Amino acid sequence: MTEQHELPVERDPEIAALLREHLVIHNEDAFVASVLTRVRADQRESSWDILARWAPLGVAATVILALGLGVLLGWEIRQEAAPPVAPTTSSNTMAQWVTSPGPVTNDIVLAAVLDGDRWLGAMPISEGSR
Amino acid sequence: MPEPDEVLAQRAQEGDERAFEDLVRRYAAQARRIALSILGTPEDADDAAQEGFLAVWRHLDRYDPERAFRPWFLRIVVNAATDLYRRRRVRAAQPLRDSERGRAAGPDRETDRALLRDRLRAALAGLTDRQRVAVTMFDLEGYSHAEIAAVLQVPEGTVRSLVFHGRRNLRRALAPYQGEGT
């Protein structure tokens, strides 16, 4: 091989022959098939990627929906299970019991027990009772 | 008459797998040879060429059919091969084994050819990435300076210089073996 000093304009057949000798490729069909197999696999993978991209949002939406339903259902159940609140009137007091002309009802007894301390506290306490 | 690359690429963009297959068949050999010139071993070259084709498939939406397909495609292949080469530089740049260096050309022609390939591989490994691509594309694949410039994204004058220096370095690296197997 001889040294050349001008910038190349034409192909160098000697270099081309050397490179052709060196850069030998085989099994072109197998290579093409392998590329296409990877492309198809990549397409399938892409579909899963799309699903995967949406998965966190889907999970989050499901969790929020489930929590919402749970809260709603729990509220409904509590509403159904809670005993009807007896209307408290100012008459369910110890004072009512004392002054009532009628028979003593359960409500009056309960009110008296719950309200007893307050009622007793309101009573004037004589020196002798201490 | 075969369909132009740009038409096939546009069809492939629209999801026509057959059109992409035609492009793969059309450019498989060139892509593998150019990758081989960069990487030195057929296995690595095939890996890089495959990666290149796969990258082309994935990024077809970025291709502008108004522009030439070939430089766009080969730039992707060259980049894939160069990346792989850099990852495997230590192995690719290994010098010839002493036993190979001192071995005289034997009577076995196949052995001589294998020896020449090893020497060429070592000589090519001594070039820069761009010199290897420029020399291979110009002298072996027959690309014009302008096309190589588009692939390497450098001015045409730089391509001429790359080919010149690449050839000179190859000749110098192979000069000690003149008359043995070449």
Mean pLDDT in order along chain B per 10 residues (182 residues): 90 91 94 90 92 93 90 93 81 47 54 77 87 92 93 94 93 75 46
Give how far the C-alpha of residue B69 lies from the chain's centroid of Cα atoms, to the nearest Å: 17
ipTM exceeds 0.85: no
Contact list in B for residue A28 (CB cut-off 8 A) is 28-29
Which pLDDT tens digit goes with each residue over A11-28?
888 888 888 887 888 888
The ranges assigned to domains in chain A are 10-82, 85-123
Q: Are B75 and B146 in the same domain?
A: no
3-state secondary structure B119-170: HHHHHHHCCCHHHHHHHHHHHHCCCCHHHHHHHHCCCHHHHHHHHHHHHHHH
Residue B99: inside a domain, yes or no? no
Q: Which of B45, B63, B94 is the last residue of a domain?
A: B94
Residue of A nearest to B168 (CA): A3
pTM above 0.80, yes or no: no
Query: How far, in whole angstroms, is CA B17 from its chain's centroid?
Result: 25
Residue B7 domain flag: yes
- pLDDT of A129 higher than 50: no
Same domain, B24 and B56: yes
Asked if A25 and B33 come within 8 Å (Cβ–Cβ), the reply is: yes
**Among B98, B75, B175, B135, which Cα is nearest to A22's?**
B135
Across the interface, of B28, B37, B174, the residue whose CB is closest to A23 is B37
Residue A95 is predicted with a pLDDT of 63
Would you call B171 an interface residue with chain A, using a CB distance cutoff of 8 Å?
yes
Q: What is the CATH number of the domain that holds B5?
A: 1.10.1740.10
B83 touches B52 (CB < 8 A) = no
CB contact under 8 A, B139 and A15: yes
Report chain B residues whose CB lies below 8 A from the CB of A34. 46, 50
> Residues of B numbered 76-105 whose beta carbons fall under 8 angstroms of chain A's beta carbons: which are they?
none
A35 and B58: CB-CB below 8 Å? no
Per-residue pLDDT at A4: 54
- Rounded to the nearest angstrom, the minimum Cα separation between A36 and chain B is 7
Please count the residue pairs, one from chain A and one from chain B, whose beta carbons lie less than 8 angstroms apart: 102
Q: What is the mean pLDDT of residues A24-53?
A: 81
**Whole-angstrom distance, CA of residue B45 vs CA of residue B53:** 12
Q: What is the dihedral of CA A56, A58, A62, A63, to 10 degrees?
A: 10
DSSP code at position A128: G
Do B85 and B112 belong to one domain? no
Residue with tokens 């694949």: B141
What is the structure's pLDDT at A60? 84
What the block records as the tokens of B145 is: 């300076």
Residue B42 lies in a domain: yes
Q: Please, how many CA atoms are within 13 Å of residue A41, restricted to the half-sphere of its CB?
A: 7
Residue B179 lies in a domain: yes
Predicted local distance difference test score (pLDDT) of residue B105: 45
Identify which of A4, A23, A40 has the shortest CB distance to residue B167. A4
pLDDT band at A130 (very low <50, low <70, confident <90, very high): very low
Range of the domain at B168: 104-182
User: What CATH number is attached to the domain comprising B147?
Assistant: 1.10.10.10
- Examine the domain organization and report whether B117 and B67 are in the same domain: no
Whole-number CA gyration radius for chain B? 18
Q: How does pLDDT run across A73-122, given as a tens digit for each residue?
A: 888 888 877 765 555 555 555 666 566 666 667 776 676 666 655 555 55
Give how far A57 is from chain B: nearest CA, Å.
25
